[in-house]
Chains A and B, each alone.
Chain A
Amino acid sequence: MNISKMHENPYNPEPARIVRHYDLIEDHRFFQIRHVDMNRAMSFTYNPGQFIMLSIPGVGEAPFSISSTPSRPGILELGVRKVGTLTESLFQKQDNDIIYIRGPYGNGYKIEQMEKKDLIITAGGLGVIPLRSILYYVLDNRDKFGRVFFLYGAGDSNQFLFRDEFFQLKARNDLDCMYTVDKADKTWTESEGVVTKLFKNLPEIDPQNTIGLVTGPPVMYKFVIDEFLKLKIPKNMIQLSLERRMKCGIGKCGHCALDHLYTCIDGPVFTYWDTQHFRELI
């Protein structure tokens, strides 16, 4: 019995407090959370693209991408879509309520590969949540990267996440933002059409010096990757992050298996080259 105390229990989640929350759009909520233990809150660090497992006792546990950047420590930000049991229960929580988290898990974006390069960050729908982490990381370390293009597409203007925030970014001259919605209404001032249409607005790209990032709904990957390939960006310089069901986050439960890999430890970020071996991917 005491022998097992020698092994840390990676399944045992830590308490965290909801500091602030607001609705991004209908059924999509933004949460700022902080470890109850202040030392832990300040020392907790992660890579953009990693995720945490979030628990509500009696309801269950599920993975959520960290949407904040480690360059702004202390607070973790999440963007959550209400889809089922756990997320519904999370939406009942108020500021100051306690939830439980463990992590961070997964590999995160390959930042070393991105340094000094031009970046095309391409998000569709909810995929913008993990990409927001790398986007702000890049902006906080702006001199380490080349040109940055941020392409984001949503279904319509009511489904566009972080609208105020992202529209403010348009004022920056060290970042090129391009936004689109599939169907525009009167309030919409940006492009109309699927996200791949934005690629024609890109200036000349040096494919050997450019990294493509993409996260979005499953149907989107193929089309965006085609655009990257048309630009002649090498397959191993295209990074994508994948979602699978996850029960453990640490390579034990088998739920996220993709071929011989576990998405939770070998991913969720893969290069397109890596994923070419998995035919069930996209």
Chain B
Amino acid sequence: MEKALIESSRNIAIHIAILWVPNMRILKMQPKFLDKFLESLEKFGALYGPVHRNGVMKYDRIESVSELDLSGHQLPMIPVKKLFNPKQFTMLHFNEKGFYPDYSMIEKRVIIGVHPCEIHGVLRLDEIFLNDPADPYYAGLRDNSAIIGFSCWPTESSLCKSAGTDIVDEGFDLFFMNLNEFYLVWVGSSRGYDMIHEREEFFEQEVSHEDMRKYIEWRNKRNEVFKLEIDFGSMPDIMELSHNSEVWDYFAEKCLSCGQCTMVCPTCNCYNVSDVFDVTNETTGRRERTWDSCMFVDYSLVAGGHNFRESRADRLKLWYTHKLKTFGSEYGRPGCIGCGRCVDTCPVDINVVTVSQALISGEVPKE
């Protein structure tokens, strides 16, 4: 009881802090206006969001907002990173005169239904791709995409509470908090402001104490639902101390080097580049970029065939160094944003939970 009280007062403190973020406005919206409002966003760009296609949930371009699954109970299989760093695209064309960039994939978009952890994932990728010199494709897609965040409900695998990514106070244009009776709507950018400004009739300017109490209740209830947790705070030290741990050999023994963990992880950024000639021509063609995975066997081969990360153990160590220790720079944060996808995806149960537990206890999981 006491713990719950402390917890809830801590939450109030956190949320008051969020409410007071300068320039961040909160409005209220009745659910009946939602679809109409979202449809109105079309003038800001092509609409994208989580939809079910052939039994798989994915971010995709939508024809109508009725296709969207905004329930927040499930994450699309491939994270929203694919809309900023596409799986495959043409970076440059070449001909006899040289190379020239291709920006044709950059379009104006509004991405609806992005969960808080996913927004955190994009903010982590920003640290890589927008770091000087910025990646012009990623930067172009970022500049031209509005992000409409939506609140969500934890799944069996969610780790966002442990990762501190279950709430978000930047990285979106609008954020919809679904409290069933109504939505609280955070306005996070001037583009977000333009969006609501045109449709003021849908929004109530007054958010009462009672509304905020409901919100905090919702948060407390949500906090109870998490099934998994990781002590992220102690992981950097544990990673450092576990470099020679046998735990790595155990996981390496099982790993299939399939790379699925990399495809589904929101903060995996690696890519490969290759040149392709146009079929009809011997002098013109394109330089293409494709997602790559450090889990693939040939990833770190250097000329001469000397493979610095010969063993799978070393490849796993690199992956988990980025996820659990630091990502991008020495003082960077760990890359894991707790989405739980690796937990659901790895065919042989290698994931942030099993790995961190094994490293903490020094014991491998029981079969």
Contacts and interface: CB of A to CB of B under 8 A. Distances in A.
A261 to B, nearest CB: 7
A243 B292 CA distance: 19
B136 A8 contact: yes
Interface string A211-224: 00000001000000
B131 interface: yes
Contacts of B321: 259-260
A24 to B, nearest CB: 17
A247 B302 CA distance: 11
B250 interface: no
A253 B98 contact: no
Interface stretch (B159-167, B181-189, B253-261, B328-336): B328-336
A280 B312 CA distance: 13
Contacts of A253: 269-273, 292
B269 A260 contact: no
A203 interface: no
Nearest to A251: B131
Nearest to B96: A57
A100 B98 contact: yes
Interface string A1-36: 101110111111101000000000000000000000
Contacts of A218: 306, 308
A84 B304 CA distance: 9
Nearest to B262: A254
Say which size band chain B's interface belongs to. Answer: 35 or more
B35 interface: no
Interface in A179-229: 218
Given A9-B101, A100-B98, A60 B273 contact: yes
Nearest to B278: A58
A11 B292 CA distance: 18
A1 B128 contact: no
Interface stretch (B11-19, B44-52, B57-65, B138-146): B138-146
Interface string B274-310: 1111000001010100001010000111111010110
B327 to A, nearest CB: 7
A77 interface: no
A248 B273 CA distance: 8
Given A1-B106, A4-B136, A83-B303, A255 B270 contact: yes
Contacts of A252: 128-129, 135, 269, 271
B99 A57 contact: yes
A61 interface: yes
A280 B306 CA distance: 13
A249 to B, nearest CB: 10
A165 to B, nearest CB: 24
Contact of B139 (A4, A243, A255): A4
Given A100-B98, A260-B328, A245 B133 contact: no
B327 A260 contact: yes
A55 interface: yes
B360 interface: no
B273 A61 contact: yes
10 contacts: A1-B103, A1-B107, A4-B144, A11-B101, A58-B275, A58-B276, A247-B272, A254-B270, A260-B328, A280-B308
Interface of A: 1, 3-5, 7-13, 15, 55, 57-61, 81, 83-84, 87, 98, 100, 218, 243-245, 247-248, 250-255, 257, 259-261, 279-280
